[in-house]
Structure 1
């Protein structure tokens, strides 16, 4: 199995980081966290969610945590006003009960042990703090990826095992809710957030898949050029184009929130 690759912040930003920012703009206000609170963004990547917290939540502080030094380098350069440290979701560089909001964007499904990660989120959350995350609806609502994996299956049926839609059953409302409840969180709620993902042309749609960052681009980069071109051809036949050549799709994320018990 080709590994998911998370190293280059610029390529990740072109692939899904820019779309994560749009989800974050709806996600942060939904949490209802008052101004002046302490936040930690787990799996912060290039800082899409971190930046949105700074812009919309008037926090006292925001710490972004990610295991990828390449992503952290981009985040430090692009998101002034936040601090960033290397770390994993299962071992956060944060003291017990130290923050008022623990958030994570597009990361929980990639953590090897999701229950352990949410337990860690809960550990660092102060009594009454919000613990929340969002993930793509890989199985149905993330159209750019659904088209890609359908085209890939036409060319390389063995590649279907890498499809996030089957790899990540967590990315649905009920499993997310159960995960949060199992961590002892209360007032658990799940909602869908849908955003437009519009590309100027098919080439504009295809180019981010060549960046090698993430599951689909990492898989594509591991293929010989002939198979890459075959997938491109199959994908062009599948992706709907407007009269002007643009590609207008949508992407849905599932967002979950809960609170640590106030004691």
Structure 2
């Protein structure tokens, strides 16, 4: 799946949901003044921005495998240490941080247990290591309506097929297997009002993430039928879309 896109494209696609979620997630992992924090899988910087606001750029570090996302995050938050890299091999020493977070990225890691294990390694003993994932198993993501309509048009198509960890139990299992203690998982729902159907639909046209790749690969006729069916279901706008995520945390 591709996240080698401009930060602005991702913002239009998912940033409208990840921004509000990141602020609540930062509360959940108890980000507070005086800490050093790392954002793993930072993307263009939804969680990074919250960390910078609360801790100051000098205390914030971030990592992402996508070069465009790293460039966007660096430009937005000068002074923060933003590096290109993968969660499974973080370029930091043991016990460097007071808190570590990964917002909407664990379910995309090549090896989620290894990735969260690395987050645990770089976090001091007793510090929170946390992550959020969409509820993929019960199809409660902001994009779930697309999958519902698409399954009617192309029954064998499933944009979430093969994406792991998309449940409370799955996330809890990863945190436990990574060696964390005092593990807790809660639900966090995010609701966004979209002024028009066009504003909601346009970001899905750029091949971002599994759903974007799925839409891009459709026959043009099927893609047109999908858009028409979604427009009929959602209306011209304004309308609300809600995504439900699971937020988990455990102590290093």
Task: Place the TM-score, normalised by the shorter chain, in its bin.
Answer: over 0.9
Aligned equivalents of 1:245, 1:40: Cα separation in 2: 38
Report the counterpart of residue 128 of structure 1 in structure 2: 126
Q: Distance in 2 between matches of 1:129 and 1:60?
A: 19
Q: Which residue of 1 aligns with 2:204?
A: 209
1:172 partnered with 2:164: no
Quote the offset at 1:169 in angstroms.
4.4
**Residue 197, structure 1, aligned to residue 192, structure 2:** yes
Equivalent residue number for residue 64 of structure 1: 62
Match of 1:186 among 181, 189, 197: 181
Which whole-Å deviations, capped at 9, do the CAs of 1:155-197 have from their partners, x for residues lacking one? 222322xx22x43341211221121122221111111111112
Where does residue 54 of structure 1 map in the other structure?
Answer: 52
TM-score, normalisation: structure 1: 0.89
Q: Provide the TM-score with structure 2 as the length reference.
A: 0.93
C-alpha distance in 2 between matches for 1:169 and 1:103: 18
57-66 or 192-201: which moved more? 57-66
Segments of 5+ residues of structure 2 without an aligned counterpart are none
Correspondence for 1:248:
240
Structure 1 residue 8 displacement after superposition:
2.2
Q: Residue 87 of structure 1 corresponds to which residue in structure 2?
A: 85
Going from structure 1 to structure 2, the CA distance change for 1:53 and 1:141 (only over 3 Å counts) comes to: farther
- Match of 1:26, SS state, is helix
Give the superposed CA RMSD: 1.8
C-alpha change, 1:33 and 1:144, in structure 2 (3 Å) is closer
**Aligned pairs for 1:100-119 within 5 A:** 100-119=98-117
1:233 paired residue number: 228
Residues matched between the structures, number = 252
- Partners of 2:141 and 2:184 lie apart in 1 by 24
CA distance in 2 between counterparts of 1:142 and 1:17 reads: 17
* 1:234-254 CA distance string (max 9 Å, x none): 222333x4xx83121211111
Q: Secondary structure at the match of 2:87?
A: coil
Q: 1:94 to 1:143 in 2, by over 3 A?
A: closer
